Every structure is written in C-alpha cells, then in structure tokens.
Amino acid sequence: MLNRSIILKHRLRPHEYQNFPSPRPTVTKVLIPIDGTDLRSGAHSFFIGQAGFEAMAEQAFGNDLRPGSRDRQLLDLIDNLPSLDPFGAAGGFDHLAQVFLHFGARLSGRGVCDRGRSAE
C-alpha cells in the first residue's frame, strides 16, 4: 500500500504541534488516497512520529510498516531528510541519491553503492 501513497514534507501549523512529543518545524506526511483512481475523493493522512503513529500505521498498512520492515526503513530515511526537493536539499540531488543508493545496498546485503556500482 505504501507504493500507492503520497509522501511529502509538511510544515507544521501551530495547532499540529500538540500531536508530537518534541515537534519539529517540518515533518513527513503520508497520504493514503481513498480512491486510487480519483484523487478528488480525498485521502487519509498521518505524520511520521505523531502521537499514535504506530497504531495508525498498523491500521493502514498492517505489518508492512512494523519497525525494521523494508518500507519502514525507507520511511525513516525519508523522514530524516530535510527536504524531498533534490535541488533544495542539503548537498543537492547527489545527497538524496546517495541516501537511496545506501538504502538499496543495505537491503540487498551488498556494500554501499557508488553511482550504481557496488563497492567491494
């Protein structure tokens, strides 16, 4: 289901700070479309790390987002990025690309990749 979700960075509004034990100015938001063929139908959403996050993730995704799962590792990496903008992120696109290459290498059990080549 994560592959049908929309993931974005969200600037918290003052009334949303109460949902976090230690709020940050920007958080990762996951939107789950109600109807995957018509986004005008709206979406369910939650913030990574908000109060009740684990229960909401389990309800929406079952075991797919349990801690340590592949999708959860990916979401945690995305959550730690300052931005999803490849040109505005610290270090630009190269930084974002290296994060995803590193993530892929960790999942496959190989060494960290360097521009598509496995480090051996």
State pLDDT tens for residues 1-22.
678 889 999 999 999 999 998 8
Q: How far apart are CA 112 and CA 39, in angstroms?
A: 37
Query: Do residues 105 and 54 share a domain?
Result: no
Model confidence pLDDT, tens digit, residues 72-99: 888 888 888 888 876 665 554 565 566 6
Q: What is the mean pLDDT of residues 29-40?
A: 89
Contact predicate 54/44, CB 8 Å: no
Query: Do residues 51 and 96 share a domain?
Result: no
Mean pLDDT of the chain: 78
Query: Do residues 53 and 94 share a domain?
Result: no
Query: Do residues 2 and 31 share a domain?
Result: yes
57 to each of 20, 43, 85, how far by Cα in Å?
16, 14, 25
Q: How many domains does the chain have?
A: 2
Query: Do residues 5 and 58 share a domain?
Result: yes
